[in-house]
């Protein structure tokens, strides 16, 4: 991908749209069919579009540098806050159809603790992603023979970031919000959810490597 302002803008738009949509579709859960410790692993619908955000910041960081990657994270955070405000305001506009209103609340009427968990997990994980991506990249780029090993910093940054994102979001939303952290009977469910979701995010992170190489193959 050529290092142009228009390409940077396109990647930042994809990042922000994926982030906002991930918050819209996260309420839909689906079974993976994989059993872990006696519990079937469930994933939020956002797992795929949220993975795109990490790919975008890695591509931006590789081509445009750390400063632009951090700026993208900030833009996304602003976009996420704005989207949340607009969704909440729209909810309280007088409705002409109660059936539609009920469907709207069911889909978009997020519990505040989920919003807080999502915001904290997003900013912490994305900031770490950019930081560790460039920390590892700088280390390897000192050696000319390692310059082609982009998969190392791409995977290491995303896979460790997903640990932060998964444990913070589930810990805050379910552990604190639902009180599972304080209920011994629910602790196995809580940790199974964390481990199970992270394993799938780990796999998805590995699968995005060819896309990372594709987008960063040409920079001039």
pLDDT one-digit tens code per residue, 20-51: 998 888 778 788 888 887 778 888 888 889 89
pLDDT value of residue 182: 93
Q: Contact at 8 Å (CB) between 52 and 16?
A: no
Here the tokens at position 191 are 């940790």
Q: Which two tokens stand for residue 198?
A: 């992270």
Query: What pLDDT is attached to residue 146?
Result: 67
The answer to whether the beta carbons of residues 110 and 85 sit under 8 Å apart is no
How would DSSP label each residue in 130-180?
A: HHHHHHHHHHHHTSGGGTT-HHHHHHHHHHHHHHHHHHHHHIIIIIISS-G
Which secondary-structure segment (H or E) carries 35? Answer: strand 29-36
Compute the distance between CA of residue 42 and CA of residue 28 in angstroms, rounded to an integer: 10
Cβ burial 26-56 (10 Å sphere, 16+ → b, else e):
bbeeeeeeeeeeeeebebbbbbebbbbbbbb
Q: pLDDT value at position 144? A: 65
pLDDT value at residue 71: 96
pLDDT of residue 12: 96
Please list the pLDDT of the chain residue by residue as tens digits (220 residues): 899 999 999 999 999 999 999 888 877 878 888 888 777 888 888 888 989 999 999 999 999 999 999 999 999 999 999 998 998 899 999 999 999 999 888 878 766 788 888 899 999 999 999 999 999 999 888 876 666 788 999 999 999 999 999 999 999 988 998 898 999 888 888 888 899 889 989 999 999 999 999 999 866 5
- Answer for the pair 108, 91: CB distance below 8 angstroms, yes or no: yes
Q: Cβ distance 34 to 41 under 8 Å?
A: yes
pLDDT value, residue 145 = 66
> Structure pTM?
0.87
Strand residue runs (E) in 65-141: none
> How far is the CA of 96 from the CAs of 74, 87, 102, 166, in angstroms?
37, 17, 12, 39
């Amino acid at each position: 991908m050529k290092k142009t302002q228009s390409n940077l803008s396109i990647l930042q738009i994809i990042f922000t749209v994926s982030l906002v949509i991930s918050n819209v579709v996260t309420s839909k859960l689906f079974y993976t069919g994989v059993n872990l410790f006696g519990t079937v692993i469930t994933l939020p619908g956002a797992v795929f579009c949220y993975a795109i955000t990490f790919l975008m910041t890695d591509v931006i960081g590789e081509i445009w540098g750390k400063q632009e990657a951090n700026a993208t994270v900030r833009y996304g955070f602003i976009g996420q806050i704005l989207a949340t405000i607009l969704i909440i305001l729209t909810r309280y506009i007088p409705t002409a159809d109660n059936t539609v209103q009920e469907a709207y609340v069911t889909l978009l009427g997020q519990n505040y603790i989920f919003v807080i968990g999502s915001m904290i997990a997003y900013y912490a994980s994305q900031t770490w992603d950019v930081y560790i991506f460039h920390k590892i990249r700088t280390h390897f780029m000192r050696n000319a023979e390692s310059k082609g090993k982009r998969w190392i910093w791409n995977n290491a940054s995303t896979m460790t970031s997903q640990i932060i994102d998964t444990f913070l979001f589930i810990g805050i939303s379910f552990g604190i919000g639902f009180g599972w952290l304080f209920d011994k009977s629910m602790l196995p469910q809580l940790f199974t959810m964390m481990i199970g979701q992270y394993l799938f995010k780990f796999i998805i992170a590995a699968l995005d490597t060819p896309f990372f190489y594709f987008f960063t193959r040409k920079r001039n």
